[in-house]
Amino acid sequence: MANDKGESTGSWFWYAFAVFVLCTSSGGLLFGLYGHYFPAITGVRDDWNVFGALLGGFGSCIGAVATLATLLFLAQQNRQQQQFVAWQIETLTFEKFLSHRRVFSERLGEIQSRLEHKIRFRNPENLYYGLFPDNGPAKLLLAVAPDVSETSENLLGALKVRFEMLDQLIKKAEFSTQDAYELAGLLFEINSDLGFEWVGEPDDGDVVMAGLNIGVNIYSLHEALNRMKWIYNIYLRFTGNAPFDGLNHGVTRYVKDALMKCRRLRGYVVYRSVTDLQALQDLLFQVDSLRDDTKNWLLPDSYRLLEATFESRHDVAQLADSERYLSMLIKINNEIFDQRTEIEVDDPRYDELNACEATVMRIVGNVRMASERNHMK
């Protein structure tokens, strides 16, 4: 830009010099001719008046040329100034764009730090351009509205639609296993849009889809919902939008039960450290279905014990202690034995109790075998 300005200024200097030389040469020639020939031609005073008028006309012509040259020079200077201002604006926009991207990256780093680096943003640059699709070195928008029109949809618009769907889905009074499968798929889509993955230590109950741990645990679903909502609201505030105020209600027992019952979903759930955890889930629902004539549980202590076990991922993780696990199973088996002595053999519930006992004993055997293998290592 500075070189262009210097070259242009040099050009105008030579143009002005050429005009000066031309005007001076013309004037010199005119006066020379008159000085050489005019005295010999006439001595009449009126002729000198004519010469004076001619000289005045020449002066006016020179003045007009000088004025025109000045105007052209000022126009060129103004054009150069406008180009320089435009260049300054472009430079300032580019610097602001780089600063905006840097602040966004720092904000993502703060999110990871707040979550103890248990999540990682896969591609911060793609995420930035997803939230600010029109930003670039020559253009910077600090506010972007969610676009959910029929012809187009930006990242904020997609997140808006999915979070509203999630809020309505969680509110359902009845929750089927199909709803549970749809919920897992919706959470995967939201996680993909938010652009992060779970890199913390995997727990039993974590949902892994397409080889990606999405940070959702079926035993502690509320943790994932709160985390996703928090990150989403950070995006909304950074783009100049009001925060999302949904998902204010807790996760009902029906949602958690449906997630544990959904066999289609089990292929995506981590079961690694607790022996026969899926069978223990099934035992919970077996015990829950055993009711007396007044619809009360036949095995109330066992049900409450199992319900507390699946209260959260932290409670489930305690089953990795085989002694604790076996102690719980023995308590359940004792209650089954006591209740079975009070029921007639031909009562259908007698067979159901036998089925529960068989499940318990199978789990006990597998836990003991796993414990022995661990001791041998």
181-225 pLDDT tens trace: 999 999 999 999 999 999 988 899 999 998 889 999 999 999 999
Q: Is residue 199 part of a domain?
A: yes
Rounded to whole angstroms, how far apart are CA atoms 256 and 319?
19
Residue 36 pLDDT > 80, yes or no?
no
Q: Identify the pLDDT of residue 249.
A: 84
Q: Is residue 56 part of a domain?
A: yes
Phi, psi at residue 42, to the nearest 5°? -150, 155
Q: Mark whether 326 and 361 lie in a shared domain.
A: yes
Nearest CA to 162 among 173, 176, 150, 146?
146
Looking at 47, 79, 111, the residue that finishes a domain is: 111
Q: Is residue 354 part of a domain?
A: yes
Q: Which range is least confidently modeled, 61-70, 83-92, 106-115?
A: 83-92
Phi, psi at residue 188, to the nearest 5°? -65, -45
Looking at 111, 143, 166, the residue that finishes a domain is: 111
The three-point CA angle 182-188-194 to 5° equals 135
Ramachandran area for residue 347 (φ above 0: left; ψ -120 to 50: alpha; else beta): beta
Q: Identify the pLDDT of residue 102.
A: 94
Strand pairing partners for 139?
136
Helix, strand, or coil (residue 294)? coil
Rounded to whole angstroms, how far apart are CA atoms 12 and 46?
42
The string over 330-349, giving b where at least 16 C-beta atoms fall within 10 Å of a residue's C-beta and e elsewhere, is eebbebbeebbeebeeeeeb
Q: Is residue 137 part of a domain?
A: no
Rounded to whole angstroms, how far apart are CA atoms 225 and 167?
10
Q: Mark whether 245 and 320 lie in a shared domain.
A: no
Q: Identify the pLDDT of residue 204.
A: 94
Q: Identify the pLDDT of residue 275.
A: 94
Strand pairing partners for 269?
207
246 or 85: which leads in pLDDT: 246
Q: Mark whether 227 and 292 lie in a shared domain.
A: no
Q: Mark whether 162 and 77 lie in a shared domain.
A: no
Residue 53 pLDDT > 70, yes or no?
no
- Mean pLDDT score, 5-21: 62
Q: Which residues contact 56 (CB under 8 A, 6 or more apart)?
A: none
Full residue range of the structural domain in which residue 101 is found: 2-111
Q: Mark whether 251 and 297 lie in a shared domain.
A: no
Largest Cα separation within the chain, whole Å, is: 157
Q: Identify the pLDDT of residue 372.
A: 85
Q: Is residue 7 part of a domain?
A: yes
Which amino acid would we find at residue 77?
Q
Say what percent of the chain tops pLDDT 70.
79
Residue 227 pLDDT > 50, yes or no?
yes
DSSP 141-158: -S-------SS---HHHH
Residue 175 pLDDT > 70, yes or no?
yes
Residue 348 pLDDT > 70, yes or no?
yes
Q: Identify the pLDDT of residue 40.
A: 52
Q: Identify the pLDDT of residue 359.
A: 96
Q: Identify the pLDDT of residue 94.
A: 81
Q: Mark whether 79 and 176 lie in a shared domain.
A: no
Q: Identify the pLDDT of residue 272.
A: 85
Q: Mark whether 71 and 158 lie in a shared domain.
A: no
Residue 324 pLDDT > 80, yes or no?
yes
Query: Domain total for the chain?
Result: 3
Residue 77 pLDDT > 80, yes or no?
no
Q: Which residues contact 69 (CB under 8 A, 6 or more apart)?
A: 15, 16, 19
Looking at 46, 77, 111, the residue that finishes a domain is: 111
Q: Is residue 208 part of a domain?
A: yes
Q: Identify the pLDDT of residue 2.
A: 47
Q: Which range is least confidently modeled, 3-12, 79-88, 107-116, 234-243?
A: 3-12
Q: Which residue has the tokens 């319900």?
A: 307
- Mean pLDDT score, 283-287: 96
Q: Is residue 264 part of a domain?
A: no
Q: Mark whether 254 and 160 lie in a shared domain.
A: yes
- Mean pLDDT score, 256-277: 92
Are 203 and 317 a contacting pair, CB within 8 Å? yes
Q: Mark whether 43 and 99 lie in a shared domain.
A: yes
Q: Identify the pLDDT of residue 138.
A: 84
Q: Is residue 88 part of a domain?
A: yes
Q: Mark whether 79 and 9 lie in a shared domain.
A: yes
Residue 149 pLDDT > 90, yes or no?
no
Rounded to whole angstroms, how far apart are CA atoms 186 and 224?
13
Q: Identify the pLDDT of residue 30.
A: 65
Q: Which residues contact 143 (CB under 8 A, 6 or more apart)?
A: 239, 240, 241
35 or 64: which leads in pLDDT: 64
| pLDDT band per the 50, 70, 90 thresholds, residue 121 | very high
Q: Which residue has the tokens 């069978």?
A: 279
- The mean pLDDT of the chain is 86
In sign, the C-alpha dihedral spanning 250, 254, 255, 256 is positive
Residue 31 pLDDT > 70, yes or no?
no
Rounded to whole angstroms, how far apart are CA atoms 37 and 285?
128
